[in-house]
Structure formats: C-alpha cells, structure tokens
Structure 1
Amino acid sequence: MQHIFRSFYLRLWLVLLAVLALFPAVAMAQQVQPQPGKQQDLAIATHAAPPFAMKDADGKWHGLAVDLWRGIASDMGLHYHFVDTDLKGMVQGVADGQYAASVGALTVTPSREALVDFTHPYYTTGFGIAVPKAPPNWLLLIRNFFTWNFLQAVLLLAAILLLVGFLFWLAERKANTDQFGGKTSSGIGSGFWFSAVTMTTVGYGDKAPVTWLGKAIALVWMFAAIIIISTFTGMIASSLTEGRLTGQIQGVSDLNSASVGSIDGSAAQDWLDEEGIAFHAYPSIEAGLAAVRAHQIDAFVYDRPLLVYRMRDGGEGKGLRLVPGTFGRQDYAFALPQHSAMREPMNRDLLTRIESRAWAARLKQVLGRE
C-alpha cells in the first residue's frame, strides 16, 4: 500500500512540475504573439531609413512603411510604441520576443526568414550603385591628350619616323645633297620630314630620293606605313577614349575590378557575397556616399530607393549619380514572430492597402518613377 501511495505522490509531483514549467513558455508566447484587439502596448522596432522610416525633430516616426503600419494597426485595434534599434536588432529582437514586430525598410532574406515570419511584401525593388559623376566628354578628350598612354604612342611614332629618316639620309646624303645634304642634323631632319609626309600620303613633292637604295627604302616604307598608320591610329584613338571607359561602372560586372562599399549586415552584403564582390563596410549610407565623393571607393551599393531619396532630397548626391537600372531583387516586409496570430489579418489589410490608388500615388509622390 505504501508503495502505491508513494508512486501516486511521485506522479502528482511530476505533473505539478510539468505544469509549472509551462508558465514561462506561455508567458513568452503571449509576449511574442500578441493577439489582435488586445489592449497591449506593443513594442515595435524600427530603424531610420528614409523615406520608409524617418524621425522628426519631435521624436515622432513617419515615412512610407511607418504610415502603412499605422493604418493597419488602427484597423486591427493595436496599441504600440516605436523603439529605435539597428538593422540586426530589428530581426533578432523580434526573434527573441523583445519586439512584437519590426517596421521599416527590412528586406526578406532566407537567413532572416529562419528567425522570424514576414508579412506579404509591401514594396519590391532592387539594389542601386552610386558612383561619381563623369566629367563632360570634351573635357575627358582634352585631358586624355596629356595621358602617358597617348604620349607613349606619339613618342613611338616619332622614333620610327626618325629611324626611317636616318636611313633616307644615309642613302641620299652624298648623291642628293640639295635635298638631304648639309649638316647632319639638317640632313636627318629632311629625312624625318620625307618619311612623315610619305607615311601620311601627303607627299608635298619637295623632296624625293634619287639613289636606287633611297628609292628601295621609300618603296618598302610606303607599304609598311599603311600598316603602321592603321596601328597607330587605333592606339591613339584608344588612348583618347580610354579615360571614358576606365573606372566608369556601367553594371554589376564592372564591380569586380572596382573598390566597392556597402553596409555590413544588410541585404546588400548578402547580394554582393552571392556575386563574389568584395566590399568595404560603412556604418551608414551617408558615410558610404561621402567615401564615393572623396574617391576613397569607386562605388557604393545599397537599396536603390534609399539611395534615390538620399541623393535627391537629402542633398547628399552632389557630384554623384546612380548607375541606370536596378540590380538584384528586394522585397520589403514587416517582420513578426514565428507563427504570429497577427500575420493573417495583417496580410489581408496590407494587401488591400498596397493595391489601392492611394498607395500608388504616395509612392510616386515620394519616390518619383522609382
């Protein structure tokens, strides 16, 4: 009998301990998964990312994402307050139960999806590449006349003309003293002049070889000059246009040979890693754009709409331009705890709002054609 009672009490204690162990989990579930309509003051994480999340002088948050959240929260009867955190905290804080949701320019990525659940995307975009503005073409052309490549081409051509002119002088200096005679410098100069006008097919007729050796050299030089002038024309044209191409980033393929900047821990970092592009980490968009202006890096890669807004309205785009086109793909969404009860009703409200004309007009007003 004692054995039976002892077994009964042991089982009773085990059941009681199991029930007590459930209380923290229930409390955490209530914190992570707030129910719509409950009068709770929810902590909502956000981070400054104009024009999606901005903080005014009075400390009030606004922006495309924040205002969209406000409308949805009002429809759902949610009570909340915003908490400023960093990009990492917007994801990890929701996963840890510190925040009920994260609102802002938060990109859906596989690594983040493993920690939290996302609503339907409210905005789809891609990455932009900010680079220095190129000087006008005519200025580049003039500047490239003084490049080392152009000077090399000219010096090499002059050396060949001088060598051929020297050969003409050797062949003609005794038998043709009227045209190639006189002092050594004068005779070689006449040979240089003759080789130049022959190569360019100008042929002034003021000088001509009279010896069989001079005529043979002239004949060989005429045919060789056709090849040489074509080659040097290409070299000179290349040296003049090289500055328009070198260092000018036109797309993703050009980033492999450029010095690139981005923000560590961002979706842009994941995209650059996938493309195999190394980058320098900067703490903010402002710091990255400043580095491009100072020619510390060749390009700064980040969310295109954020770059568009900063460079247009923030006054930070002076001397910079965006490479045409959008690269990669980004879906902005709200982050919620996994298996959140808010997700379904929030998705229904969100889809209704982003498909409205009012949302399209707001996007056009804030982002323009972007």
Structure 2
Amino acid sequence: MGHRDIAAARRMLWLSLLLSLCVWTSAVFAQAGSSSKAAPKSALPPGEVGQTLTVGTAVAPPFVMRDSSGQLSGLSIVLWQRVADQLGFKSHYVERDLPGLLSGLQNGDLDISVAALTVTEPREARVDFTFPFYSTGLSIAVPASGSNGVWHTVSRIFSWQFLTALAALAGVLLLVGVAVWACERRANAEEFGGGLLGGLGSGFWWAAVTMTTVGYGDKSPRTLGGRLIGLVWMFAAIIIISSFTAAIATSLTVDKLSSGIQGVNDLDHARVETVAGSAAAESLTNRGIPFSREKSLGAALADLAAGRVDAVVYDAPLLKYRIREDYAHRLNVIDHTFERQDYAFALPQGSDLREPINRAILSTIDDSQWNRLVARYVGSS
C-alpha cells in the first residue's frame, strides 16, 4: 500500500469517528429534551396501579346503602367505583362508625373513607379531603302538622312525668289527711270519725278541698293540733298549686313552640336532637343551641316520632330520604336549610392519591350522567 492509500484510509477513519460523534451527541440531546417534558397527568405513584385499597364506609342512605344480599350501593359508592375503575384500583370495603372513618385514616387502617362525609375545619386538621362531589345543607325534621292536634297536646300533659307527680301529690294529701285525722278523730268524731277507713277518707277529703281553696265547710279542725296543721297546709298548698299550674303551662307552651318551628332561630326553646359526632352537632354547639345526642339518625327520628323531642337537625338529603322511607305523613323536613355541607372522600394527610382521585372525580361529575345519578339517589331537588 502506498503513502496515498494510507492517507486516504486515515481520512476515512477520521470522518467515520466524526460522524459517530455527531450521531451520539444528537441522541444525548434528544434524550435530555424528552426527559425534561412533564410526566402524563394521569400517572399514578409507582406501584399503585392495580392495588387493592381498604375503603372505610358507613351506611348513610342514599349515599351509602346495603341491600338484602349485602351489596353496597348509593351515590358515594357508585362515584367511588367509577373513580377506582378509571385509576385501576380494587376496593376492599370495611364498615366503620363516623369517628372510625377518620381515626382509621390517621392510624393507617384505611386508605380512603367513602360515605356522606362533610368537609369541616376540625376534620381537615386530621385528614385530607378530595374535591367535593355534592353540596347540601343542614335541615330540621319536625312532626307533621296532623300530629300536633288535640290528642298530641293531651298526651304531652298526661305524660309519665305528670302521672308520677300526680301520684306524689296524692301521697302528700293522704299524709296530711292522716295527720288531721289523728288530731281530730276523738275531739271531732262527728266530722273525722267513723272507723279507720272513714276517718282517713275524711282527712283526705279535707286536705284536698283545703288545697284547692274550695273549702266546703263540711269539715274543719277544732283541736289546736288540727288547726296548726290546717294553717301550715294552706300556705304549702298555695306553693303546690302554683307549681302544678306552671308545669302545665310550660308543657303547653313548649308544645306550641315545637309545632311552630320554621328555622334554626326557632330551636332555642325546643327539645332538639342530632347524631353524636356529626357536623350537625358541631353546628348546634357553635350556635349555642342546647341539644341531646343519639348514636344514629334512625334512633333520633324514632325519638321525634314518639314525641320525646321536638326537632331533629341533620343533613337535608339524609333526613328527607329516611323520612320518605320510614316516616311518611308522620314527620316533615322544613324547606329552610342552613350551614352549607360539602361531601367529599377523606384520605390520610399527604396522600399521593389525592391528586389523581381529584382528577377522576372532576371527570366523573362533569359527565352528563352525573345529574341523572344524583336525581336517582337523592332526588331532583
């Protein structure tokens, strides 16, 4: 090989090396450019796709319901199943009470809570909430107008407490009658004599007519002891009669107030009840309205139907559904609502699932079928 051939070979080698360098440099810059692009918005954290999530739930019709076969349904369940299908999740449902839905997220027992959970500031301090999927408000359930008639008023007056007080009064009358009979049975035998039963009956009759200030005059004590007992009894009877009159007037007034509840401002003097640990309980506490607590909405409505309370305060759609199903024509939900309630799913604080679940929720409720689902489970209102 001559010098010219060697020089030509060297030139070809250098050109090949230069071309290879250019190709390698272009590939490096192309890879760097592609890596600088944002990841797809639908991307989930590594290892999440196909995962089975432990889903806490609580029966709260019409958002969470369980049929006779044990299958869960309801607006919240349908929404979550659609979200889970979009993201490739499987669900293992675990029923908890309302406090358990939050504490389970804090201690790691639950991955998400799906129910009729209201977003509140105290709860937000403990867990994270997704984008709200339904907005409503608190409302008030009261007895239907027909249940506040004469019989309802009579039943309120002649309650167990009233009959107990009446029995106690009869006992006091008998005690005073015995005392007068003991003093008068010998010195005033014509009025308080006639044997044990006759004498006690005369003493009881005298105590009763003296208490009511009727004073027929057919019987009156003549001994010093009998007259002292009569004097004390007349003053004591004034107090007793006044107390009974006030108790009956209060019962009638409360009954009238309870039948005239039109909004939250009418609850101050009514017997109010709600579910312990609920957003309604928080609202009533913040407003300074006295109320009693029950473990469930069903128990609270049973108290209202039985006349043990005057009003039940709770989330409007849950009240309307339960009353429509179980207490039609016996209880009503007033039209006025207060204290806006936003329902959302709850997650552990800082959960990586919050962003993809939010996107899936927004995608679902933006679909035209969402309004039909809401009307199906909650009603067109």
Judge same fold: TM > 0.5, yes or no.
yes
Structure 2 gaps of 5+ residues are 1-44, 153-253
CA 1:366–1:351 in structure 2 vs 1: closer, same or farther (change >3 Å)? same
Structure 1 gaps of 5+ residues are 1-34, 141-241
| Residue identity opposite 1:71 in structure 2 | R
CA RMSD of aligned residues (A): 2.3
Match of 1:7 in 2: none
Q: Summarize the alignment of residues 125-140 of structure 1 with structure 2, pairs less than 5 Å apart.
A: 125-133=136-144
Q: Secondary structure in 1 aligned to 2:62?
A: coil
Match of 1:320 among 321, 331, 334: 331
In structure 2, what is the Cα distance between the partners aligned to 1:43 and 1:280?
33
Match of 2:91 among 74, 77, 80: 80
What is the CA distance between 1:365 and its match in structure 2?
Answer: 2.3
Q: Secondary structure in 1 aligned to 2:327?
A: coil
Identical aligned pairs, as a percentage? Answer: 44
What is the CA distance between 1:367 and its match in structure 2?
Answer: 2.0
Match of 2:278 among 266, 283, 291: 266
- Is 2:318 the counterpart of 1:298? no
Check the 8 A contact 1:37/1:77 in 2, yes or no: no
Decide which moves more: 51-60 or 62-71.
51-60
Compute the TM-score of the two structures, normalised by the length of structure 1: 0.60
| Residue identity opposite 1:291 in structure 2 | D
The alignment covers a number of residue pairs equal to: 234
Q: Which string of whole-angstrom CA distances, capped at 9 and with x for unpartnered residues, describes residues 156-201 of structure 1? A: xxxxxxxxxxxxxxxxxxxxxxxxxxxxxxxxxxxxxxxxxxxxxx
Q: Summarize the alignment of residues 320-359 of structure 1 with structure 2, pairs less than 5 Å apart.
A: 320-359=331-370
In structure 1, what is the Cα distance between the partners aligned to 2:103 and 2:332?
34
Match of 1:248 in 2: 260
Q: Summarize the alignment of residues 134-149 of structure 1 with structure 2, pairs less than 5 Å apart.
A: none
CA 1:318–1:36 in structure 2 vs 1: closer, same or farther (change >3 Å)? farther
Check the 8 A contact 1:128/1:327 in 2, yes or no: yes
Q: Which string of whole-angstrom CA distances, capped at 9 and with x for unpartnered residues, describes residues 229-266 of structure 1? A: xxxxxxxxxxxxx9876641011111011000001101
Q: Which string of whole-angstrom CA distances, capped at 9 and with x for unpartnered residues, describes residues 285-330 of structure 1? A: 11111111111000001111001111113x2344111111211111
In structure 1, what is the Cα distance between the partners aligned to 2:255 and 2:125?
47
CA 1:318–1:287 in structure 2 vs 1: closer, same or farther (change >3 Å)? farther
In structure 2, what is the Cα distance between the partners aligned to 1:251 and 1:86?
29
| Residue identity opposite 1:367 in structure 2 | V
Q: Secondary structure in 2 aligned to 1:249?
A: coil
- Is 2:104 the counterpart of 1:113? no
Check the 8 A contact 2:141/2:312 in 1, yes or no: yes
Match of 1:311 in 2: 323
- Is 2:292 the counterpart of 1:280? yes
What is the CA distance between 1:354 and its match in structure 2?
Answer: 1.3
Q: Which string of whole-angstrom CA distances, capped at 9 and with x for unpartnered residues, describes residues 317-344 of structure 1? A: 4411111121111110000111111111
Q: Secondary structure in 2 aligned to 1:297?
A: coil
Q: Greater Rg, structure 1 or structure 2?
A: 2
Q: Summarize the alignment of residues 1-370 of structure 1 with structure 2, pairs less than 5 Å apart.
A: 35=45, 38=48, 39-133=50-144, 247-313=259-325, 315-370=326-381
Q: Which string of whole-angstrom CA distances, capped at 9 and with x for unpartnered residues, describes residues 99-123 of structure 1? A: 0000010011111111110001000
| Residue identity opposite 2:340 in structure 1 | R
Q: Secondary structure in 2 aligned to 1:256?
A: coil
Check the 8 A contact 1:118/1:333 in 2, yes or no: yes
| Residue identity opposite 2:314 in structure 1 | Y
